[in-house]
Amino acid sequence: MNRVVITFGYVILVLCAISMLLPFLWMISTSFMTNEEIFSYPIKFLPSSVDFFNYVNVFKSMPLAIYFLNSLIVSVVTTLGQVLIASMAGYAFARFDFKWKEVLFVIILITMMVPPQVNIIPLFYVMRELNLVDTYSALILPGFFGGFGVFLMRQWFVKFPKSLEESAKIDGLNNLEIFFKIALPLAVPAVMTLAIFTFVSSWNSFIWPLIITNSDEMKTLPVALASFKGSYREIIVWGELMACSVISVIPVIGVFLLGKKYFINDLLAGSLKD
């Protein structure tokens, strides 16, 4: 009976995986097709030939390299900033006693319930008063702070053995040295998990970059993808749009594959009991 249940569970998982992979595979396939092939009947699931003309044309029709570089800079810097700030804040909440500690942590948790769209208008006014509109600073700074990151790192450091810190203090290390030399290196699974979530969220961010940027030189890739249909072509070339979409997905897949081992280890650490 147990074997039947396990087999049935695997079948369901395989079907779910196929259903999620099909749109991605279709996107890759259509990126090599012409408009005529895409709308042909009967439907063609594979291109007649593997030709990169759509990928070449998309770089000619729009400054895709600039948009890609903007997204990469914003996502990488945002990820580094969020990981550093959330790790330090999480360690402080886990290890130090200070006034209003519990109240502040509850407030941080409450911010996780607030939709980010609610903050856009006041955040825009702040950036305008600081003369940061249409700059990298406006795109990056709001991403440095997030309640989820602080919560995730705090939960990791709560499980961190105090004996290591006590030994380090005996050896003459101060709190900052203990954090950077001992606590943070041992928190790599949690750090990589937070980095993956932050990078993907920043890379896919659309509303904030759309509002805070004015010039083409500062646009990010999601904004460029949305404007591709109307701004750069009177007739939508779906093959080029799919090629642009494939290019935009590559960094996200690469980051996940690089951090997959640590991500899974963090999930397992949260599910196992001592």
Number of domains, the chain: 1
pLDDT number for residue 272: 41
DSSP characters for 85-135? HHHHHHHHHHH---TTHHHHHHHHHHHTTS-GGGGHHHHHHHHHHTT-TTS
pTM beyond 0.75 = yes
Residue 163, CA distances (Å) to 13, 55, 64, 185, 268 in order: 42, 56, 52, 16, 23
CA atoms within 13 A on the CB side of 170: 6
- Within-domain flag for 209: yes
Residue 227, CA distances (Å) to 131, 220, 221, 249 in order: 25, 11, 10, 17
Q: Which helix (H) or strand (E) holds 208?
A: helix 207-212
Kindly state the tokens that stand for 204.
Answer: 């896919």
- Within-domain flag for 166: yes
- Within-domain flag for 46: no
- Within-domain flag for 193: yes
Kindly state the tokens that stand for 57.
Answer: 């044309």
- Within-domain flag for 156: yes
- Within-domain flag for 131: yes
Q: Classify residue 186 by burial, with Cβ atoms within 10 Å: 0-12, 13-18, 19+.
A: middle
**With 80 as the cut, is the pLDDT of residue 268 above it?**
no
**With 60 as the cut, is the pLDDT of residue 274 above it?**
no
Enclosing domain of residue 84: 60-271
> What is the helix, strand, coil percentage profile of the chain, to 5?
75, 0, 25
- Within-domain flag for 10: no
Report pLDDT digits (tens) over 95-147: 888 888 889 999 998 988 888 888 888 999 999 999 999 999 999 999 898 88
Q: How far is 184 from 178, CA to CA, in rounded Å?
A: 8
Mean pLDDT of the chain: 85
Beta carbons of 134 and 218 less than 8 angstroms apart: yes
Residue 182 makes CB contacts below 8 A (sequence gap 6+) with 164, 165, 168, 173
- Within-domain flag for 210: yes
Interval 54-64 mean pLDDT: 85
Tell me the CATH number at 124: 1.10.3720.10
CB atoms within 10 A of CB 1: 5
Report pLDDT digits (tens) over 150-182: 999 998 888 888 888 888 888 888 888 888 888
